[in-house]
Structures are given as structure tokens and as C-alpha cells.
């Protein structure tokens, strides 16, 4: 039990560190593209901003509960996932604007904030797509193993 808990906390720490570093690289990359897009006063503040951006995953999971709402009519069922994504992105952008005012040592301009938000949304979509692909492969492999045993 202790070994499994240690493995879990190690993997969680590595994951948080990796994604915080990746988000920090995105911020520094935007600064490298145009120093007028974001003003950075210290590296620590960039890491703090990146960690707070990564912390968005917790409210995102709560917002994902919207998918549990039953939608009866077919046209609404078709449009609902897009409306849900648009709502999540809108709340995320509002979170980033609040974060930008709270952490004053990393200051995005309007264009810089749009660039950062777009980069984060695209990166999140790619990561979640890869995670879903891996989960499907793992589920298929487990199903094939259980069927071959029977």
C-alpha cells in the first residue's frame, strides 16, 4: 500500500511539474514572439502563473458535470457539446483574466491573453485526445485479454 501511494504521489508530482513547465514555456514563447504581448518581471511569477493555470483542471472537472444534463431533442443534442465547450472556454478565459489581474508580475496584453488562451485550449484538446486514445487502446487490450482467457 505504501509503495503504491508513493508511486501515485511521485507520478502526480512529475505530471504537475511537467505541465507547469510546459505552460511556462508557452508563456516565455509568447514573450519571445513579441515582448509587447506579455511583460514578465520574474521567472518565479511565470511558474506561479503556470501553476495557477494548471490548477484550472479542478474547476474544469466540475464544469464537465454539465454533460450529465439530459438533452431530449435531437437538434439540441447535436449542438449541446459545442455549447458546453464554448461555455468552458469562456469561463477559462474569465479565470485567466482574473489570474492576470491577481499576479501582477506577469502582465498580458489583450492580444497576448488571446494568444495564451488559444494555446492553452489547443494544448488541452490535444492532451485530452491523446489520453482518450490511450484509454481506448488500454480498454481494448484488456477486453481482448479477458476474452482470450474465456
pLDDT digits (tens, 9 = 90+) for 90-113: 888 999 999 999 998 999 999 999
With vertex at residue 15, the alpha carbon angle to CA 12 and CA 59, rounded to the nearest 5 degrees, is 80
Cα gap 108→60, rounded to integer Å: 22
pLDDT at residue 21, as a whole number: 92
- CA-to-CA separations, 144 to 5, 128, 149, in angstroms, rounded: 29, 24, 9
Q: pTM value?
A: 0.78
Instruction: Dump pLDDT digits (tens) for 16-63.
Output: 899 999 999 999 999 988 888 898 888 899 999 999 998 887 777 777
Cβ–Cβ under 8 Å, residues 114 and 96: no
Instruction: Dump pLDDT digits (tens) for 72-88.
Output: 777 877 887 888 888 88
Cβ–Cβ under 8 Å, residues 99 and 116: no
User: pLDDT-based confidence at 150, cuts 50/70/90?
Assistant: low
Could you tell me which residue, 69 or 84, shows the higher pLDDT?
84
Query: Does an H or E element contain 117, and which?
Result: helix 110-149
pLDDT at residue 28, as a whole number: 92
pLDDT at residue 69, as a whole number: 73
The CA-to-CA distance between both ends of the chain, in Å, stands at 30
Amino acid at each position: 500500500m505504501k509503495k503504491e501511494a508513493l508511486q501515485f504521489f511521485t507520478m502526480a508530482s512529475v505530471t504537475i511539474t511537467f505541465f507547469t513547465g510546459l505552460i511556462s514555456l508557452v508563456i516565455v514563447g509568447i514573450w519571445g514572439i513579441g515582448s509587447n504581448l506579455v511583460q514578465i518581471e520574474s521567472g518565479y511569477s511565470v511558474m506561479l502563473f503556470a501553476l495557477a493555470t494548471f490548477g484550472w483542471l479542478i474547476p474544469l472537472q466540475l464544469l464537465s458535470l454539465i454533460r450529465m444534463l439530459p438533452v431530449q431533442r435531437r437538434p439540441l443534442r447535436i449542438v449541446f457539446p459545442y455549447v458546453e465547450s464554448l461555455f468552458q472556454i469562456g469561463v477559462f478565459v474569465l479565470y485567466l483574466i482574473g489570474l492576470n489581474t491577481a499576479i501582477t508580475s506577469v502582465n498580458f496584453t489583450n492580444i497576448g491573453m488571446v494568444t495564451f488562451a488559444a494555446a492553452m485550449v489547443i494544448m488541452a484538446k490535444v492532451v485530452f485526445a491523446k489520453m482518450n486514445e490511450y484509454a481506448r487502446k488500454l480498454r481494448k487490450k484488456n477486453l481482448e485479454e479477458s476474452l482470450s482467457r474465456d
